[in-house]
Chains A and B, each alone.
Chain A
């Protein structure tokens, strides 16, 4: 099994390299190290979000509210900064990460305590969170001149030659990797998704594990909210609208099974990078940005079809209902 997963990741690396190579054939400037670093930096936010979505999908759930959570947290960060420019930026970040975690925990509680299907919960909270931004801001924009310089400068600040934004995503990848491979909670994510009934018998609280996955995805969405708003220096109701699809696409491309239990941090990162390369290459090879939505849709469908073929080798529980807990 491990070999198979490895193969898949190597396959993805090849696909990304081939993609970059094809683009470089016509536009050699694309493979310049500085440009590749720029592409990575541009994909950083997607990587951070995909890590959270991966944890949720591993437990057989889904989080459609991540982009709305990002927008709400980002708006709150911008509003705090606009109203109290003196508040230190790390404190603002901590606040929105906590806010994001709370918003995620609402999803988690509804899934855990009330047994509502995750897709319904997060479809509902998606609209509620987006609507809340409107209630908070009255539909107004917060523009660059209302934000303090320190607020806008952080993601761009250079550290050892790379922007802080890139470094933050690297830190997030390492942290989530350690969580997934070195802690009980991380292993529980896999166990719950692989076989919830078996997980119960090994003493894992399935609901609580799902709750924790939602808290993680919420906290990461909160962090991404600050990064998004400070990077693009604008906050309004519709920022990152529809981005939840890109996040899920990144996970599906990265080989994370929507049926739960299968996936890896490496897969999530590579899936994000694959989308990131496509997104950055479109303007270079002169394809209209309007085509991007259709391309991510096609990629999702192809990726899920490929996933289904590799997953078919697994044994399947036929009588799920009969094994009721």
Chain B
């Protein structure tokens, strides 16, 4: 006992075998939860297991997950972006404005991507250029971006999107696999490779763990963060294209409160809200779990606002449980 007190951090000669680490990881826990929810849903409703029904269920999370991938990188780097839902609103409004000027689908997509990138650039410049805290800046741009949509749209709505534009939110690539689901899969791979297999990804972790140390070891902290906010804006723009295409209309209140769901998805996926750790596979699983749960509730006729209580409670308990768990283990160890 006394010895362990003298050297509390004993480094083992050999790391524990890979299989036991995999079993204990947050991601495998998520996988078990996902399977459980899937099973529960199929018992709760006889309509759940229909392939087309499952395909519909994916629309519940694909758009949010697109943003969650970029948000995961932002949060791992120790920052946060609360303005994503407002970027969706402003992007959608810009596309609606373009439609009234007679723009066709390719132009609309360019307008969408451009507006998203522009919003991300505004966030990035304020945060890295002026060195302001991201939480306040994005609270500010959250009301600024949505406020601009309100100024442009007021209490009106844009409709009348061209037929070909409907493909992004309603089209299918093959059989039951929608365009959005395919985009989700491609983005998951792209962001997974970016975070886990590139120098850029390593520098994101380095910044999140110790920004000063990262700076002194040659990571261009400002540039990396700027790119992350740019990416988040771009992904929010893409999500806005999908959502607008799926709904076929734009109101300034579109995607209200989505930032909360995106952050919940990222945190549920095992990304530390304090920065420095997290994985893309975790976020993918979390997206599936949240989508399946909300869709299951929908089949059981649970109102949307009750689901939001669930999301809020999920967000808090997902962070609280590991803390309680590690405390209980420490107490057992003593």
Residues of A within 8 A of B (CB): 62, 110, 114-117, 119-121, 123-128, 130-132, 134-135, 139, 237, 242, 245, 248-249, 252, 258-259, 288, 290-298, 300-301, 304-305, 308, 318-319, 321
Contacts and interface: CB of A to CB of B under 8 A. Distances in A.
A305 B210 CA distance: 24
Nearest to B320: A114
Given A119-B80, A124-B316, A131-B309, A301 B150 contact: no
Contacts of B155: 290
B143 A114 contact: no
Interface stretch (B96-104, B127-135, B194-202, B224-232): B127-135
B154 interface: yes
Interface in B95-149: 126, 130-133, 135-137, 139-148
Contacts of B267: 120
B252 to A, nearest CB: 8
Contact of B323 (A115, A130, A319): A115
Interface in B260-305: 260, 263, 267, 273-274, 303, 305
Main secondary structure of the interface of A (DSSP, over half): helix
B212 A318 contact: yes
Contacts of B306: 131, 134-135
Nearest to B212: A318
Contacts of A117: 273-274, 319
B144 A127 contact: no
B308 interface: yes
Contacts of A304: 132-133, 136-137, 140
Given A294-B148, A308-B132, A130 B305 contact: yes
13 contacts: A117-B274, A127-B309, A131-B308, A237-B305, A245-B143, A248-B139, A249-B140, A252-B136, A293-B147, A296-B147, A301-B126, A301-B144, A304-B137
B251 to A, nearest CB: 12
Contacts of A124: 312-313, 315-316
Contacts of A127: 257, 260, 308-309, 311-312
Nearest to B327: A114
B319 A288 contact: no
Nearest to B260: A123
Given A110-B316, A293-B147, A301-B140, 8 more contacts: A114-B319, A123-B312, A128-B312, A130-B308, A131-B306, A237-B305, A297-B141, A304-B133
Nearest to A291: B151
Residues of B in contact with A, size category: 35 or more
A174 B210 CA distance: 42
Nearest to B324: A114
B139 to A, nearest CB: 6
A296 B137 contact: no
A249 B140 CA distance: 8
Nearest to B311: A127
B132 A305 contact: yes
A132 B309 contact: yes
A258 B133 contact: yes
A321 B274 CA distance: 12
B150 A110 contact: no
Contacts of B147: 290-297
B135 A258 contact: yes
B151 A288 contact: yes
Contacts of B257: 127
A116 B305 contact: no
Contacts of B145: 297
A304 B132 CA distance: 7
Nearest to B317: A124
A201 to B, nearest CB: 23
A321 B240 CA distance: 39
A305 B130 CA distance: 7
A15 to B, nearest CB: 18
A321 B209 CA distance: 10
A165 B246 CA distance: 47
A127 B263 CA distance: 13
A123 B315 contact: yes
Contacts of B323: 114-116
A298 B319 contact: no
Contacts of A249: 140
Nearest to A258: B136
Nearest to B263: A123
B137 A301 contact: yes
A127 B131 CA distance: 30
The 10 closest A-B pairs by CB, nearest first: A294-B147, A297-B144, A131-B309, A293-B147, A297-B143, A127-B312, A300-B140, A301-B140, A124-B316, A290-B150
A17 B154 CA distance: 31
A288 B320 CA distance: 44
